[in-house]
């Protein structure tokens, strides 16, 4: 792929590692807030090669992982209905609910379909007026514009058989919840570049000022992350706490304003539960009242479904950066990709999956 190998150049990576080491006069603690960044950090051994200068803490940067258990159970309930075509991106199908996952519902006869865009689900609703079509709307601000467009289009087409099960979360409130915690150790953040492509970085400026922490908007390739770490370390060494942009090829300060406008017309800010963490006030998106007919929770009266996290799964501690995945007693034993206890073990952006799949701590876990 063009313009990809340039961001994986080994010589440049070694030079950045040395620059970070020369800049750091002490060991700093940074958190990346993106599961894609976590996978690059673990796969490429960035956390190992910089362990003397920087400790990387893996944050709640995987929207699949933070989707509450009860929301997964609501999805399973809908997918099991004979009158429903349940649609989702593929990354949600292996996420465990209280008793099973969407793949298992599909194997039992449920009409579960993988789509590549929420507009594919709108088209299914148009073609199958005899069925209720539900799309599982999961994600950070990154996927919100496309999901807003699907709802907007369904209203234009007057489709009364289309709805979305919303589990959208937003990044800045989660970062603030981490910074407010009494046991917080995070001294700086690598912010998720794809979120900032949509939202820009103005939302992060009050956080940087209030909590005196540097925040660096960072991409996903090895050189992106190494440069983002260096920029954060340099700020810490200089006593600065600003928002800087490493991901200049994709992100502008103001973000994508047409996308933001669409999101704001369809969604509003709501309190949202995070799997393993609990409710974070004003941390999610929910449909505005005028779009209530497209809200699957209201349409199918799903509020009765409640669920408790399994005690042996420490996904919440992993997502808050309190422990590394291998420090969970279930890691690699009771919890594996083939038999997961929590979403971080099966999501393509999950920290537990990163540690397990890249093998760095399997021996430590007794695998």
- Domain of 185, CATH number, reads 3.40.50.11740
- Phi and psi for 357 in degrees, rounded to 5? -70, -30
Q: Are residues 345 and 233 in the same domain?
A: no
Q: Does residue 360 carry a pLDDT above 70? A: no
Q: Are residues 323 and 281 in the same domain?
A: no
Report the chain's mean pLDDT, rounded to a whole number: 93
Domain count, the chain: 2
Distance CA(227)–CA(190), nearest Å, equals 10
Q: Are residues 12 and 154 in the same domain?
A: yes
Q: Are residues 214 and 334 in the same domain?
A: no
Q: Give me the domain span that covers residue 125.
A: 1-313
Q: Are residues 329 and 223 in the same domain?
A: no
- pLDDT for 215: 98
Q: Are residues 118 and 61 in the same domain?
A: yes
Q: Are residues 275 and 329 in the same domain?
A: no
Q: Are residues 105 and 241 in the same domain?
A: yes
Q: Are residues 299 and 323 in the same domain?
A: no
Question: Which residue, 313, 328, 348, sits at the end of a domain?
Answer: 313
| 362 within a domain of the structure (yes/no) | no
DSSP letter for 331, please: B
| 366 within a domain of the structure (yes/no) | no
Q: Does residue 62 carry a pLDDT above 60? A: yes
- Phi and psi for 309 in degrees, rounded to 5? -65, 140
Query: Quick one: how far is CA 228 from the chain centroid?
Result: 19
**pLDDT tens, residue by residue, 207-227:** 999 999 999 999 999 999 999
Q: Are residues 233 and 334 in the same domain?
A: no
Sequence-ordered strand ranges (E) for 156-211: 162-169, 188-192
Confidence of residue 311 (pLDDT cuts 50, 70, 90): confident
Q: Are residues 16 and 122 in the same domain?
A: yes
Distance CA(22)–CA(110), nearest Å, equals 57
**pLDDT tens, residue by residue, 6-51:** 888 899 999 999 999 999 999 999 999 999 999 999 999 999 999 9
Q: Does residue 367 carry a pLDDT above 80? A: no
Nearest to residue 330, comparing CAs of 343, 341, 316?
341
Q: Are residues 141 and 196 in the same domain?
A: yes
> What region does 366 belong to: left with phi over 0, alpha with psi -120 to 50, or beta?
left
């Amino acid at each position: 792929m063009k313009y990809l190998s340039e961001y994986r150049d080994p010589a440049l990576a070694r030079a950045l590692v040395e620059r970070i080491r020369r800049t750091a006069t002490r060991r700093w603690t940074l958190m990346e807030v993106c599961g894609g960044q976590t996978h690059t950090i673990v796969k490429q051994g960035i956390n190992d090669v910089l362990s003397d200068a920087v400790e990387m803490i893996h944050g709640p940067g995987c929207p699949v992982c933070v989707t509450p258990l009860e929301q997964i159970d609501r999805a399973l309930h809908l997918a099991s209905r004979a009158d429903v075509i349940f649609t989702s991106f593929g990354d949600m199908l292996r996420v465990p609910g209280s008793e099973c996952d969407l793949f298992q519902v599909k194997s039992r006869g449920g009409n579960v379909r993988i789509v590549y865009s929420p507009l594919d689900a709108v088209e299914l609703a148009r073609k199958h007026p005899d069925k209720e079509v539900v799309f599982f709307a999961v994600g950070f601000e990154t996927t919100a514009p496309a999901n807003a467009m699907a709802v907007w289009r369904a209203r234009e087409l007057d489709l009364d058989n289309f709805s979305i099960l919303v589990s959208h979360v937003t990044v800045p409130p989660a970062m603030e919840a981490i910074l407010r915690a009494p046991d917080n150790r995070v001294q700086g953040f690598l912010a998720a570049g794809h979120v900032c492509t949509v939202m820009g970085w103005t939302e992060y400026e009050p956080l940087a000022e209030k909590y005196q922490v540097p925040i660096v908007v960072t991409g996903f390739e090895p050189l992106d992350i190494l440069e983002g770490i260096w920029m954060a370390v340099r700020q810490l060494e200089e006593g600065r706490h600003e928002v800087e942009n490493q991901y200049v090829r994709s992100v502008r300060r103001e973000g994508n304003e047409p996308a933001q406008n669409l999101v704001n017309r369809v969604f509003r800010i709501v309190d949202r539960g995070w799997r393993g963490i609990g409710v974070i006030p004003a941390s999610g998106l929910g449909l505005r009242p005028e779009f209530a007919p497209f809200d699957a929770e209201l349409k199918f009266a799903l509020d009765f479904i409640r669920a408790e996290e399994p005690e042996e799964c420490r996904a919440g501690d992993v997502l808050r950066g309190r422990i590394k995945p291998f420090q969970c007693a279930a890691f690699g034993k009771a919890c594996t990709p083939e038999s997961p206890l929590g979403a971080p073990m099966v999501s393509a952006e999950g920290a537990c999956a990163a540690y397990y799949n890249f093998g760095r701590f399997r021996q430590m876990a007794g695998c």
